[in-house]
Homo-oligomer: A and B are copies of this chain.
Amino acid sequence: LRDVSREAGVSVATVSRVLNTPEVVQKDTRARVEAAIENLGFVRSAAAFAINSGRTRLLGALIPTLESDIFSLTINSIEQTLVDHGFSLIVATTDDDPEKEARKARELVDVGVEGFFLTGVEHSDMLYDLLRRAQVPALAISNFDSNFRLPTVGYDNRWAAKTACAHLIDLGHERIAVVHGPLMGNDRTKARVEAARETLGAQNCWFFEAPVSVAGGVAAAHRALAETASLDAFLCMSDVMAFGVLHELHRCGLSVPKDLSVASIHNLPASEFTHPPLTTVHLPARQMGKRAAECLARWVEHDERPTAICLDTHLVRRSSTLSAGNISGSTQVDPHKRHSR
């Protein structure tokens, strides 16, 4: 910047002005300065700018993983929305480990983020402590809880699970295998599983935990089929696992929804095109990203602490569950055919 000022024959103050408030500097002076900047290929120091303005225009997102579509969809949406507000996004993955989350949060504070997107409502005290000390606004996504200490922008995971359960019950299903990812450190899954147990009744459901992946779904279905007689339906806590369940069921010669129904939660773009198309509870990942980004941007920018936002979830009925018209007696005796319709 000093070089530029010399090259243009003006003071550093003037150069700084054409950088920040070009309208206050005379036209020809500005032209000269801009030429100098161009010549010297000057790029202003981010650090120096930050130290004076107190602004870094950096936001951080702490998410379990990017390998799950639900999060990559959300993050993509957050990033795209943030552009319009002039922010850049640092992503950090936590693998649903609160310790790791706190560690990475610390690193993000150290590089100067002005705000955080956290996932869920289960965090370590170290993280809360950091947030308080560094005075950094933080939003929790993927969950809705108006009583949580941080503002939440998300959906009601319990409700989503209940919706799916109610649908299965409506269809007359009674014996249900619930397939879900690791409970450890994952409050969203916990909430869904708990809601399922309550809605279905503990004696009507069997729980199978496996990694959140297609392969995990395959493994869970395999175990469910082996360990549980006369199942009516599968309820998966995430679509990717449902993909695996569908695959395994097909491999075993079981027909969906004729022999068993499969319902899920997420509604990923691919879920419309499975065999058969998947009945699933839609979770508005993209919309959530957008709303969360807007909230945090406003919070950081205008110091307006947002209030919790609850996004709508709803059942998308497709053909992996019986259509109401089909609920008439069948007389299958195969152990894996449903025993009640």
Q: Give A contacts to B, CB under 8 Å.
A: 41-51, 54, 56-58, 65-67, 69, 72-73, 75-76, 79-80, 83, 88-93, 104, 107-112, 130, 132-134, 213-215, 218, 240, 243-244, 247, 250, 269-270, 272-275
Q: Are B43 and A133 in contact (CB under 8 A)?
A: yes
Q: Are A47 and B215 in contact (CB under 8 A)?
A: no
Q: Are A88 and B107 in contact (CB under 8 A)?
A: yes
Q: What are 6 residue pairs bridging A and B, where the CB atoms are less than 8 Å apart in the complex?
A: A43-B110, A67-B76, A69-B69, A79-B93, A214-B270, A215-B272
- This chain: copies in complex: 2
Q: Are B111 and A56 in contact (CB under 8 A)?
A: yes
Q: Are A47 and B44 in contact (CB under 8 A)?
A: no
Q: Are B67 and A72 in contact (CB under 8 A)?
A: yes
**Residues in B whose Cβ lies below 8 Å from that of A110:** 43-44, 46, 49, 57
Q: Are A247 and B269 in contact (CB under 8 A)?
A: no
**Residues in B whose Cβ lies below 8 Å from that of A111:** 46, 56-58, 88
* Complex partner residue of A46 from B56, B57, B80, B273, CB under 8 angstroms: B56
Known: A47-B47, A273-B218, A273-B247. A76 touches B65 (CB 8 A): yes
**Residues in B whose Cβ lies below 8 Å from that of A57:** 110-111
Q: Nearest B residue to A52 by beta-carbon distance? A: B47
Q: Nearest B residue to A129 by beta-carbon distance? A: B41
**Residues in B whose Cβ lies below 8 Å from that of A51:** 45, 47-48, 51
Bound CA span A66–B76, Å: 5
Q: Nearest B residue to A213 by beta-carbon distance? A: B269
Max chain B C-beta neighbours (<10 A), residue from A44, A46, A240:
A46
* Complex partner residue of A250 from B89, B92, B275, CB under 8 angstroms: B275
Q: Are A214 and B273 in contact (CB under 8 A)?
A: yes
6 closest A-B pairs (Cβ-Cβ)?
Answer: A46-B112, A47-B50, A41-B133, A72-B72, A66-B76, A47-B51
Nearest chain B CB to A250 CB, angstrom units: 6
Nearest chain B CB to A266 CB, angstrom units: 14
Q: Are A272 and B214 in contact (CB under 8 A)?
A: yes
Nearest chain B CB to A172 CB, angstrom units: 27
Nearest chain B CB to A74 CB, angstrom units: 9
Bound CA span A93–B83, Å: 10
Nearest chain B CB to A29 CB, angstrom units: 22
Q: Are B66 and A56 in contact (CB under 8 A)?
A: no
Bound CA span A76–B56, Å: 24
